[in-house]
């Protein structure tokens, strides 16, 4: 009699995961300002945390704050020698965004050139965003 045990299946190699796109990019001006803020901070910071909050006339606004630590859920973006930590709830709204920094006689601020922005209020404080289509 012959042995009827099936041959063990040949292991199938898992496909390599697709590289994830970088959520945001920085202009040189933004990177220089972030580096300056990091050096001038009163306490140790690892970078800036960027997110989105609900509110304002158009419905949402960008948030930028010092990041004292990297949270396990943060999307870490390293560009031009500085670090941005993106709030995981904001990733789909910020995909493809370029963060810039502008200073003139009346104001100095980070500017978000976001392809997912569908509208903005007249005062410039809030925006309407839609999730990126992947």
pLDDT tens profile 92-101 = 999 999 999 9
The residue written with tokens 């904001």 in the block is 90
Counting residues of the chain whose pLDDT is more than 70, the rounded percentage is 90
Least confident of 96-105, 107-116, 124-133: 124-133
| Residue count of the chain | 134
pLDDT digits (tens, 9 = 90+) for 43-53: 889 999 999 99
> Residue 24 phi/psi, 5° resolution?
-135, 160
β strands within 27-125, DSSP E? 47-54, 60-67, 75-79, 82-86, 97-103, 108-113, 117-120
Query: Across the chain, what does the average pLDDT equal?
Result: 86
The residue written with tokens 């922005």 in the block is 117
What's the alpha-carbon Rg for the chain, to the nearest Å? 21
Reduced DSSP (H G I as helix, E B as strand, rest coil) percent helix, strand, coil of the chain, to 5? 15, 35, 50
Structure tokens at 98: 């370029």
Adjacent-strand bridge partners of 75: 86
* Mean pLDDT of the region 45-67: 89
């Amino acid at each position: 009699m012959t042995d009827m045990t099936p041959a063990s299946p040949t292991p199938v190699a898992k496909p390599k995961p697709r590289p994830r796109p970088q959520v945001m990019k920085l202009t040189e001006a933004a990177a220089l300002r972030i580096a300056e803020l990091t050096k001038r901070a009163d306490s140790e910071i690892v970078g800036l945390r960027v997110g989105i909050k609900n509110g304002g006339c158009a419905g949402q606004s960008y948030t930028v704050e010092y990041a004292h630590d990297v949270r396990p859920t943060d999307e870490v973006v390293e560009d031009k020698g500085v670090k941005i930590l993106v709030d995981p709830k904001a990733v789909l709204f910020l995909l493809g965004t370029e963060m810039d920094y502008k200073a003139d006689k009346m104001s100095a601020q980070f500017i978000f050139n976001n392809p997912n922005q569908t509208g903005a209020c007249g005062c410039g404080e809030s925006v309407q965003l839609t999730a990126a289509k992947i």
